Amino acid sequence: MKRFRRHGQESQRERIKQELYGFNKTVEHGFPHQPSALGFSPSLQLLAIGTRSGAIKLYGGPGVEFMGLHDENAAVTQVHFLPHQVELVTLLDDNSLHMWTLRAHHGVSELLEIGRFTLTGPPGAPPSVTRVTAVLAHSSGDLLLLGTEGGHVFVVKVPGFRELEERNISLEKVTNGVPEEYGGRRSLEHVESLQENPVNPLQVLIGYGRGLMVIWDLDSQSAQLESVWWMEDGGHVLSSHSDGSYCRWKVAGDDPQSEQEKSEVPYGEDPQKVNTTPPFLFLSGGMPRASYGDRHCISVIHSKTHVALDFTSRIIDFFVIRDGPDHTGDPSALVVLVEEELVVIDLQTEGWPVIQTPYLVPLHCSAITCSHHVSAIPLKLWERVLSAGALQNTHYSKKPWPMTGGQNLAPDPPQRDLLLTGHEDGTVRFWDASGVCLYPMYKLSTAGVFLTDSDPNDNLNQGTEGEWPPFRKVGCFDPYSDDPRLGIQKIHLCKYSGYLTVAGTAGQILVLELNDEAAEQTVEATVADLLQGQEGFRWKGHTRLEVREEPVTFPPGFQPFALVQCQPPAVVTALTLHSEWKLVTFGTSHGFGLYDYQQKNNVLVRCTLNPSDQLAMEGPLSRVKSIKKSLRQSFRRIRRSRVSLRKHHLQQANARLEAELAEMELAPVQRKIEPRSPDDSFTGLVRTLYFADTFLSDSSHNTPSLWAGTNGGSVFAYQLRLPPVERRGEDPVTAHPAKEIQLMHRAPVVGILVLDGHGSPLPEPLEVAHDLARSPDMQGSHSLLVISEEQFKVFTLPKVSAKMKLKLTAIDGSRVRRVGVAWFGSTRTDDYGESGLTVLTNQGDLHVVSLPGVKLQVQYPCIRREDVSGIASCVFTKHGQGFYLISPSEFERFSLSARCVVEPRSLVEVSSQTPSTTLPRAPPDGASVERRYTHSV
């Protein structure tokens, strides 16, 4: 009987697990890493980006997103939509072609790969004969024209990828069809471009690498004349040349030798691409190499107005969006894909301002150094942050986002969520993380508080009066930091009070409050000497940042009013804010401190440094600062310096910094659990800090407390005495040592949590006061949960005796890297849910551990174990989701909750206005494949 009862209980528990937990990688936020190709469908209003890793991503209106991945580990070199259809073709650098479609399934569209194809030449032919260099998706929707390195053009019927040999355009046919003085005996080289006549689909313009352009009649299979962009009237063609000129050619009648009508050299040399959409002319490149060879420009010419749009990274491709239901109206926007961002220019507003992107925002404008997530933001705080951000965005166009393809069918987010990212340049960026689009809301800069080597008047890209070409800097990507000490390492925001604290690389901790008006104030520093006068230690790292003595004007938004400076100025490794008690606690590799930001004084400073730990006295920036300083001086000396050079050196410097930090606390350890020597390096490094109102001295009196966990397995507890509310501003806060725990194996402590009498985690500060959480149970006994890299151990309070523990797999070397507390709601009923610990290990595995029982519930593989930076960047949410960096510019979003899932749900339907096709559509042949891409794993 007991066996059956136990089996029934186990089955019920399994059902509950299915209602609570489920792993999905849901959406990728940010800008695709290493983009390599751009495509656009005017009829679908969809944008496509291919990457060097073989990913293909589609974007329409905000929230409309699709993602696919080629099996081949090859870069996407070209993307082409079939006109007026939901299919697109990708070309990879392994010379394979792939057909994709958006097919409706259960009311939403899914991106499917339905075919693949590789050109095969005659036996014995060299690879260049079939190496594809240009692709034209014909307006019939049934044909692909493939230009090759050998100068041939192959015609392929789609979607079945059937070669129409009788329609192929061989190099011999072309050379026989053009006059001797044009063709001669020299090779025409590769096919550079294929363009269809906009008013006559039977005419195709073939541009060869040697400079010859041929108009080929698909019906008569013959060349008509010499003349690579068709103008709208179909009677003129634009060509661009290596001397920097562009030419306009008249294509009229049957005259095979039409004359060049117009030739101009706007600036100097080598335009890479020409596009005319009257009344605009667009030229990519063309800058004189001697003076501006390292600039990435697109020249926009409108009547007598010239502007050279100067981008911050290499241009991949661009296209123009036009007004009107048939997309043949006036040009409305220029869309430019560069290596590090997508820039959209409003062509209908004076000054051609940039349109802010609702997605594809470059998260890595400055390198991301940390992140912090806050769930369920109150409406008032949300609106105030939005308002402060709106004041920063007055330079953007007021026009709506021009790409509107697809329908976003995802439900409205149930709550307002914020993701805060800290950056190397000292900024903190606020992102709306409620839904599919990670939308920028507000940017906080901390650099103004300090004296740095940067000069606000030194703008390398600022144009001068009368300069020619007339440069205009465009885009926000700027990985260059004038002072790496400004880098943000820890962030903590209280959503109820509006207080924010941020800590940096040079031991600086700023406390800020939200103000709707600009304010001028001086920020005074309080020094926290973490060495406490210990002998024999000398700091060998970077110096601390100097604080500005004069008042600084801070714009509306978060404004600093208190500053703590750690001495030595080491990286801040832990930070926690308690807005109800008006306290901030912080830790470094030398110790931890407690700061009263109401009275602006230190309450507690404790040194945790091991006497033998000399490595902790060497700052991670000591070896890279001189590199960055010399670079900075060089850049200011050479006006034309650009991001490509900066990026190379900064990546080297950042790689060294990341390697040292990883060695300090993030590197995976692949060995059995063994006792660690107290002489190990960085044993004093503070990994976690925690405030709790609990029982420390006896079981009948609860008091505020501070808990600190170190890399050497030590836990320190301090009892805090707060004056009454009416005397909070005058009487001092005091801290007294209460408990100290030393874990047996000295494993680093990565998390501390106090559970109330019901076994629930204590609520956040002010959460109960705002009626958003029940009061903690103070009648039953509290428990202390200490999470080390190796195990979860529960102690009773106040006696601190071991109660239970859970060990992770010790044999394969698993270590806890990240841990969070989350609420998992049931998918079956709104009345049931459970608290649990979300855990990420150095193996890249995700776990959910139950509370208060500390039992492993589920385990899922998530991140490659080799991806140390991805594991280090992970941040959990309060509702079972998480984010981690899959590249410097992209967050992967995942969910461990079966109920709380944010993912794209979109429908794309082809317009009813489709042109009549010239050839019947063929069904896929035997070479076709079908692969469905969803966001579930």
Mean pLDDT score, 145-153: 94
- Judged against a pLDDT cut of 80, whether residue 224 lies above it is answered with no
What is the C-alpha to C-alpha distance for residues 67 and 27, in angstroms, rounded to an integer? 9
Q: What's the whole-model pTM score?
A: 0.88
d(C-alpha 318, C-alpha 341), whole Å: 12
Identify which has the larger pLDDT, 178 or 851: 851
Measure the CA angle with vertex 363, ends 505 and 653; round to 5°.
45
Q: What mean pLDDT do residues 687-711 have? A: 95
d(CA 477, CA 361): 10
| Predicted pLDDT at 864 | 95
Q: Are 682 and 589 in contact (CB under 8 A)?
A: yes
d(CA 809, CA 273): 57
Mean pLDDT for all residues in the chain? 85
Q: Round to whole Å and give the CA distance between 606 and 717.
A: 11
In DSSP terms, 105 is beta-bridged to 108
Q: Which of 708, 730, 705, 754 is closest to 581 using CA atoms?
A: 705
Helix 643-661 to helix 625-637 angle (10° resolution) is 170
Residue 933 in tokens? 């891409």
Could you identify the residue written with the tokens 């469905």?
Answer: 932
Cβ distance 929 to 114 under 8 Å?
Answer: yes
**Residues 308, 300: Cα–Cα separation, whole Å:** 6
Strand partners, 320: 334
Q: Is the pLDDT of residue 271 over 60?
A: no
pLDDT per residue as tens digits for the range 54-105:
999 999 999 999 999 999 889 999 999 999 999 999 999 999 999 999 999 9
Q: What is the mean pLDDT of residues 234-253?
A: 63
For CA atoms 52, 58, 60, 66, give the dihedral sign: negative
3-state secondary structure of 165: helix
Question: What pLDDT digit, counting tens, does each position of 505-543 carry?
Answer: 999 999 999 999 999 999 989 999 999 878 878 898 999
Residue written as tokens 């019939």? Answer: 140
557-605 confidence digits (pLDDT tens):
999 999 999 999 999 999 999 999 999 999 999 999 999 999 999 999 9
